[in-house]
A and B are shown apart, each in its own frame.
Chain A
Amino acid sequence: MLNDFLILMKQELVITVIIFILLFIKVGSKDWKNEALLKLINILLLLNVVFSFIGNQEGVLFNEMFKTNNLISFEKGILSLGIFIISLSSYSWLQNHKHVAEFYMLLLSTLLGMFLMISSGNLLLFYIGLEMSTIPLAAVVNFNLDKKQSSEAAFKLIISSAFSSGLLLFGISLVYGATGTLLFSELPQTLTGTPIQLLAFILLFAGFAFKISVVPFHLWTADVYEGAPVAVTSYLSVISKGAVLFVFVSVLYGAFKPLATTWYNMLFILSIATIIVGNLFAIRQNNLKRFLAFSSIAQVGFILIGISGSSQAGTASVIYFILIYVFSNLAAFAVISFISAVTGKETIADYKALYTTNPFLSWVITIALFSLAGVPPTAGFFGKYFLLMAGTGIAGSKGLIIWIIIAALNLIISFYYYLRVVKAIFMDANETPIEKLSIPFLPKIAMIICVAGIVLTGLFSFIYEYIFSLSSGF
């Protein structure tokens, strides 16, 4: 029993241990220098990444409260990798920050919440995991302590997430009232699609949609992303969205399978609205953080198409796309985070003629934007390709072709705004470009990992095949 517990909950336990190490460092009497602390934390996070990919087993614990399998362990591994890259790339910002230990404690407790959410076999544990992955995040959004905008963003995040939790809880309580169970494994047998169950499901769906900022629920996204420190923005847009999407897929395919026609139609309407609104607003943005906020909204619209496939290919394509999205978005954010920490410049106009002074940074952000747009040699192309492929064929029958056509047309619009930034970097003239910056070791490593990830996940087909083999039966 104890062995099972130690092995199956290994990934959660490692995170918990790191949180408590940080807590003891903070309350201990020894004064740590920021540099030493950051080095220690990065080594711990690297160990965490290594541990989360090796030696995982499948199993169920605590009366099906907690479950894990190879796919879930792999998803947790992606999230661990993401937080490691973010930690490396936010080095320049944290170097002069007063609360480094707290920053990582809060960030890691949200990661712990996400792990529990992904592993939950019960709606109650799922809810606690979800709360744990948002409440500390609101505190982290406020970490530019001297900026009013940062507090405003934190306030908006906590209010909107409280509202979405309210919707979610209302849905969960109706599910419990209508079916008498909270276990994901028992829900499919008890759900028959009566009106009360449909309302409960729609409320649950709305709660999810808030967290992944699907369009009618996206209004908090841009403001929060703009106000938060760049490291936190990248965390919000990649890790927390990715975690909720992982759960979303498994909940839709598992617990709510009997309501498949309902959520297929909902996904159809919401994803088209999401892609179009995300694209149209992204065109108008001048601040790079707002720009990436709207671009991430549009990307989620594409992910919803992949989810609609409800097949093994659907699960595999979504997870594959999120892996690519982690690399490409974090590469873009690593550059923006570094430049913002050193010079404080965040608008597209500031990036004009960046290539003349900083060729390395220019190439990194360009490859990242190519991957986000989906230009063929990069992994982003294959990610979007598999998503649309999964959307065309839903288990046994054909998907809606018109849906795929609208998505493909929107891909062209997205090319315009992604390449606009590339044009500013390479082709626009500028009297006073950002001066030549020397990049510290750790952010440089983060950028290299991301670029390698973008290129390699696209070129080596065994990564997709591995994910596909993991997702059998989901």
Chain B
Amino acid sequence: MNAIEILFWLLSALAIISAMMVLLSKNPVHSVLWLIAVFFAISGHYILLNAQFLAIVNIIVYAGAIMVLFLFVIMLMNLNKESEPKRNFWRILIGIISGGSLLMILVSLIRQATEINNKNALMESGNIGLIKTLGKLLFSDYVVPFEISSVLFLSAMVGAVVIGKKE
């Protein structure tokens, strides 16, 4: 077992345990903190796959900006035991059944997936996630969606200003 494999298993275990803790912790603030741990573990995976740009963006945008927003919202909402909705037996049952069926489908899917079985990820050697490659693609093949998203941002901005403006 070389260092990369050890790192891979470590990060995977960290990601799965933190993801479980997101769901299991009673306090929503703790959930958000565990979610940050999940993002860090996944960023580690990106680095293992030689996708540095993705790793950095994942940390800056998700762990940094979005999680801080989450924390703000949760603190402003003032959640506590009394405001928690009552748990209905039937609702839990339906949740277990539908979640269980989805899990079953996903497991059987991965077992039968001929596309991904016996194929190895390109550890260290893949260059698809390097900034140079990404930049070239973004400004050649994918320049149209890239430019069009600017109109999307313009309209989102206009919408936010109209709604947020005080009369």
- Interface residues, chain A, with chain B CB atoms under 8 Å away: 16, 19, 23, 62-63, 65-66, 98-99, 102, 105-106, 109-110, 112-113, 116, 122, 124-125, 128-129, 131-132, 135-136, 138-140, 142-143, 145, 154, 177-178, 194-196, 199
Tell me the complex Cα distance, A39–B89, Å: 58
Question: For the complex, is B156 an interface residue (Cβ under 8 Å from A)?
Answer: yes
B107 → A minimal CB distance (Å): 11
A339 to chain B, nearest CB (A): 26
Contact A113 B144 (CB under 8 A): no
Asked, given contacts A128-B149, A196-B109, whether A136 binds B163 with beta carbons under 8 Å apart, the answer is no
> Most A CB atoms within 10 A — which of B105, B141, B151?
B151
Cα–Cα, bound, A19→B145 (Å) = 18
CB distance from B74 to the nearest CB of A (A): 17
Complex CA gap A109/B141 in Å reads 23
Smallest CB–CB gap between A145 and chain B, Å? 7
Contact B145 A65 (CB under 8 A): yes
Interface string of B108-145 (1 = CB under 8 A from A): 11101111100000000000000000000000011111
* Given A62-B143, A177-B115, A196-B109, A139 contacting B152 (CB threshold 8 A): no
8 Å CB contact of A135 from B110, B116, B144, B155: B155
Q: Chain B residues with Cβ under 8 A from A110's Cβ?
A: 155
A198 to chain B, nearest CB (A): 8
B105 touches A199 (CB 8 A): yes
A136 touches B159 (CB 8 A): yes
A178 to B114, CA, bound (A): 9
Q: Across the interface, do A195 and B108 meet the contact criterion of CB distance under 8 Å?
A: yes
A140 to B142, CA, bound (A): 29
- Cβ-defined partner of A19 (8 Å) among B144, B151, B161: B151
Q: Which B residues lie at the A interface, using CB under 8 A?
A: 105-106, 108-110, 112-116, 141-145, 148-149, 151-152, 154-156, 158-163, 167
Interface majority SS (helix, strand, loop, mixed), chain A: helix
A124→B155 CA distance, assembly (Å)? 19
CB within 8 A of A139: which of B110, B113, B114, B163?
A: B163
Given contacts A194-B112, A194-B115, are A140 and B151 in contact (CB under 8 A)?
Answer: no
The residue that A105 contacts in the complex, of B108, B112, B115, B155, with Cβ under 8 A, is B155
A-B contact pairs, 21 of them (CB 8 A): A63-B141, A65-B141, A66-B144, A102-B158, A105-B158, A106-B158, A106-B162, A109-B151, A125-B144, A125-B145, A128-B145, A132-B151, A136-B156, A139-B156, A139-B160, A145-B163, A145-B167, A177-B116, A178-B115, A195-B108, A196-B113
Q: Which residue of chain A has its CB nearest to the CB of B114? A: A194
Known: A16-B151, A62-B143, A132-B152. A139 touches B112 (CB 8 A): no
Instruction: Please give the distance in Å from A296's CB to the nearest CB on chain B.
Output: 24
Q: Are A106 and B108 in contact (CB under 8 A)?
A: no
In the assembly, what is the distance between CA of A135 and CA of B155, in Å? 8
The distance from the CB of A87 to the nearest CB of chain B, in whole angstroms, is 17
By the criterion CB–CB under 8 Å, are B163 and A142 in contact? Answer: yes
Known: A135-B159, A139-B158. A195 touches B152 (CB 8 A): no
Q: Complex formed: what's the CA distance from A14 to B95 in Å?
A: 49
Q: A16-B151, A196-B116 are in contact. List 20 more A-B contacts (CB 8 A).
A: A109-B151, A110-B155, A112-B151, A116-B148, A122-B145, A124-B142, A132-B151, A132-B155, A135-B156, A136-B155, A139-B159, A139-B160, A142-B163, A143-B162, A145-B167, A154-B163, A178-B113, A194-B115, A195-B113, A196-B109
